[in-house]
Amino acid sequence: MKIAAFTMFGITFKPLSEASLEMVRIWRNSDDVRLFMQYQEIITPDQQKTWFQQLDKSTNYYFVVYQNEIPFGVYNVKDIDFELGIGELGAYLKNKFFWDGDVCMRASLAIIIFAFETIKLSTFKSHVLKNNKKVLAYNQQMGFQINEKIDDSISFELHLTKEDFYANKKIIRLTKYLEIN
């Protein structure tokens, strides 16, 4: 499935392109981002290009996200298994200042709805470092639950099903509000 740019809740998602690789590499290498990733080494331009060239774009969707034409982060659904209807959700923001306000929430809800409705996933998983309390709490507010069966010393594996997401009355009220604001 080829994915095009889309806009939802005032956030525009543009597929990651070669032209944006250096910009997102700089963001990814910043201490605001890198120190909260499982892989914390500095990524070189060559490593970034190699990763992008080897990326299976039929099962890994990476987007640069924009509000009012200003790029502020990267959101992705990766390692998609279309047969099982599962994929892994990930995101990082340009810097910590974008945590304030509602752009992160708008983008998170949009990518979740996109994955459930457009690419027809039924379950998300996500990995969050155990010391990243803010992101863990944020994901739990979005409806993700810790998978207690996975014992990893570094990170939690979280799950969110389509059924649980749409059963969350707070999330549904919020998405209806965002549709008109």
Start-to-end C-alpha separation, the chain: 30
C-alpha to C-alpha distance for 75 and 92, rounded to whole angstroms = 7
Q: Which residues pair with 71 in a beta bridge?
A: 66
10 Å CB burial of residue 180 (0-12, 13-18, 19+) is exposed
100 vs 148 pLDDT, higher one: 148
pLDDT-derived band at 145 (thresholds 50, 70, 90) equals very high
In 83-132, alpha helices (H) = 103-117
* Mean pLDDT across 126-144: 91
What percentage of residues in the chain have a pLDDT greater than 70? 97
| Statement: residue 150 has pLDDT above 80 | no
pLDDT value at residue 95: 65
pLDDT-derived band at 36 (thresholds 50, 70, 90) equals confident
* 62-78: pLDDT as tens digits: 999 999 999 999 999 99
56-75 b/e (C-beta count within 10 Å ≥ 16 → b)? eeeeebbbbbbbeeebbbbb
* 151-179: pLDDT as tens digits: 778 899 999 999 999 999 999 999 999 99
10 Å CB burial of residue 126 (0-12, 13-18, 19+) is buried
* Mean pLDDT across 39-53: 90
Domains of the chain are 6-180 (3.40.630.30)
Q: Judge whether 134 and 28 are in contact, CB under 8 Å.
A: no
Residue 23: other Cβ atoms inside 10 A: 13
